[in-house]
Structure 1
Amino acid sequence: MILHELISIELLRVIWWLLLGILLIGFAMTDGFDMGVGALLPFVAKSDVERRIAINTVGPVWEGNQVWFILGGGAIFAAWPPLYAVSFSGFYLAMFAVLAALILRPVAFKYRSKHESPRWRSNWDWALFVGGAVPALIFGVAVGNVLQGVPFRFTEDLHAIYEGTFYGKFLGLLNPFAILTGLVSFGMLLMHGAAWLVVKTDGVVAERARRIGVWMGLVALAGYAIAGLWLAFGIDGYAMVGQVVVDGPSNPLHSDVVREGSWLAVYGERPWIAIAPVLGFLGLIMAIRGLRSGGEISPLLWSKLGILGVISSVGLTMFPFILPSSIHPTSSLTVWDASSSQLTLFVMLVSTIIFLPIILAYTAWVYRVLWGKVTADDVTSNSESVY
């Protein structure tokens, strides 16, 4: 038997679905607080010193945190090529806005303190706000559109066609449900950023972060509850009918998919997945409570649990769908029919087993070395403070 055939294609597909989820959750837990701090910057820090304190809480780690985003994009490209092709084509303008914001962020980090002009620094501070707020919002909007289905279809030769116009490719994404999920993401990541500032700063910056973090957490909590009710009663789900081939070729047109019922019907079939939304609600509620009661480490840990639960609930609710089609349900991409070959998935898995622990160990070491609060003295008297 050839080595890569030791693991079945069915198992490899599930493993890579799990790994994609892990990478996205890892990105939200790490780069999420970077984006949250950036979006909070003009509101939690009023003076130049206060803003330098806030920036220096994420300055040494944001580049490493962004690795999770790169890994996630790479995983989609290599493990799920049809997903990469359709999503990056259909969401092109939204993706461009996200990438523009993410490109603006490092420029702002590097150039903000190059000039002492208050106006110069204020402009770059608002650039950091855009670099944090725009991705935090658009990522959630994208999830809302995926849950509703995306207007694409495949021809008989598997050529992907996205039916949207300019309006559909950007402005059309801003429908009411997607805006709601965008607010959930926005509130959740800003609360996460506030929890990070509470850990890394003290004084007025930390106190402002607490107050704003509580409000952002309430926005995320209320939005998450409303989105769940909306999914239950206002949005049709998707289901595979007939014989489901889990180890067949990667051809979405071979599957029979219908759009009916509710997404939440799967909780009757797989009740164990209810643990995900329970963790989501528990994490958000306890993070809000921790921020209000004066906790330091606990709000950050609870916030991470909330992120885990919220993102996991989306993936587990949709399984095995990863990108449904609103205009041609049969073209919907699922775990069973949108992956790369067995050999590709196996080689990538071996590489992941080797390199992911190295990334985790290095990340843990960096946070251990840089642990501790950032103070005014650190940013004014330390010649190595470049932000």
Structure 2
Amino acid sequence: MHRTRLPSGVEAWLVTRYADARQALADQRLSKNPAHHDEPAHAKGKTGIPGERKAELMTHLLNIDPPDHTRLRRLVSKAFTPRRVAEFAPRVQELTDHLIDQFAHRGTADLIHEFAFPLPIYAICDMLGVPREDQDDFRDWAGMMIRHGGGPRGGVARSVKKMRGYLADLIHRKRERLREDGDDDLISGLIRASDHGEHLTENEAAAMAFILLFAGFETTVNLIGNGTYALLRNPVQRERLQRSLAAGETGLLATGVEELLRYDGPVELATWRFATEALTIGGQHIEPGDPVLVVLAAADRDPERFADPDTLDLARRDNQHLGYGHGIHYCLGAPLARLEGQTALATLLTRLPDLQLDADPDDLRWRGGLIMRGLRTLPVRFTPQS
């Protein structure tokens, strides 16, 4: 436990040990609602979502507590089912192959901008039910947010406003024609979802669609980008996975993605929490109103929890990492992210078997910000494919 002053000027507690992190993530005395912080000017909207300041966007799963969180998560879970994710697997494979087709003949690519970024944005748009003709707009808006994350002004704010407005209009249109069309997309599922007769309001549905879109693409961008980079830097593990894939086995791919989530996961710090009463974590006294940030990247390298934590071991079995959180705020979209990560990595390593890093690792740059961890670019080279 470390008390520190962040670049914004906010003083916060950093939780770095695995056991303390699990406690903090599950402790409901740590609220997700920024209203519990005594420095709201600094903390409002600090969920890692660029440009988030509007009240209607604050009503989502990352920023609320029970009982509202319980109600919304139960409603959303009815639309975001394992069956829906499983049925989406062929589309993820189709998107993956299509994107690789665009650069496979060249022998070089930037895997962030040409692959890791567009794959999850198109996938989540398809799952939400955004018409294909509008998805390039979403790619542009999301690109602005991911390139210039955190800034509340300028292009980021305009992109957030456009995305929010589009989703609100799309939800309204889908609600109007729902009885006629019988659409089976996620937004239609959100509209249909009810709990004892209680439905999501249009504002709640728009906020939920926005957070699913944002959280559903940037974390997966980083999973694919960080995961590929880790494999390129660990050739023995990468070759081991390629041999497993060539033999038609999937077990190492599944454990391997979990290990990549632990080793260099897409989320460096969990989103903000605020103490609602005095409590103790890791022997430190936390005052009411204190911000608490759980450092997932540190917890997942804790030598008291993981043997040889700085070693990438794709076959690691005892791997209850915190890459997607823990407790009631565990990532709802984790099954989709895992599907996309497994599909992307397996297809890359199979179709481009001699994939190599095409840059000095010291020249690669990581995006700024407290919450997410991801590369700005990932230049690669390989034998051109016909």
TM-score, length-scaled by structure 2: 0.28
Relative contact order, higher structure (CA 8 A, sep 6+): 2
- In our comparison, the structure showing a higher alpha carbon Rg is 1
